[in-house]
Amino acid sequence: MSAQAFVDESARGSRYHVCVAVVLDGDVDALRRLVRSFCLPGQRRWHFVTERDSRRRQILDALIDSGQVSALAFSGKDREDDLRAESFRRMAAALVNRGVHRLVIESRQGRDQRDRQILVEELHRLGDPVLQYVHLPPSGDPLLWVADALAWSHSAGGAWRQRIASITTAQDVTGR
């Protein structure tokens, strides 16, 4: 089965988190519809950091109950750029192993080039598998909002991280 992946980040305290939402190709359209259904009147998109806890629970429960998303979470305590680079290296191998052919990364404007460089190097090291990747703004694909929700929840820890634990594989990338 082929799949697509959507990436966002979250920094909280001294820890940095990169989270990936993995969605099978056959589930992408239905999950986009589900995600859009949580936009309130007048909202173009939702952003987890600004949502009330009750909406966060509602959104996470719907995502998990859909059975249409799994997650990878990479986190650590080090320089943000180093943690992001190591997260992307590990992510590339994990995504190739899961049959992901398309990777959508939330753009960080001027810092996207470093992501591309790391992915080119890592994919070459892995034998040049087919994995297309693109940076988009948050409004570019509603499934980036899923990655945002996962990154926020993972970085919040406690009950929020526990809420997504059943769909999440996590790795600490501190110290590589």
Q: What is the pTM of this model?
A: 0.95
* Calpha distance 27→99 (Å, rounded): 14
What's the pLDDT tens digit per position in 142-156?
Answer: 999 999 999 999 999
* Calpha distance 164→149 (Å, rounded): 10
Residue ranges and CATH numbers for the domains of the chain are: 3-172 (3.30.420.10)
What's the pLDDT tens digit per position in 60-85?
Answer: 999 999 999 999 999 999 888 999 99
Burial of residue 79 (number of CB atoms within 10 Å: 0-12, 13-18, 19+): exposed
* Average pLDDT score, the chain: 95
One-letter amino acid for residue 60 of the chain? L
State whether residue 91 is helix, strand or coil.
Answer: helix
Q: Which pLDDT does position 176 carry in this prediction?
A: 57
Q: Which pLDDT does position 13 carry in this prediction?
A: 85
Q: Which pLDDT does position 1 carry in this prediction?
A: 77
Mean pLDDT of 30-43: 96
Q: Which pLDDT does position 151 carry in this prediction?
A: 97
Cα 69 to chain centroid, rounded:
11
Q: What percent of the chain stands above pLDDT 90? A: 89
- Provide CB contacts within 8 A for 157, sequence distance 6+: 12
- Pull the structure tokens for residue 117: 């460089």
Q: Is residue 167 very low, low, confident or very high in pLDDT (cuts 50, 70, 90)?
A: very high
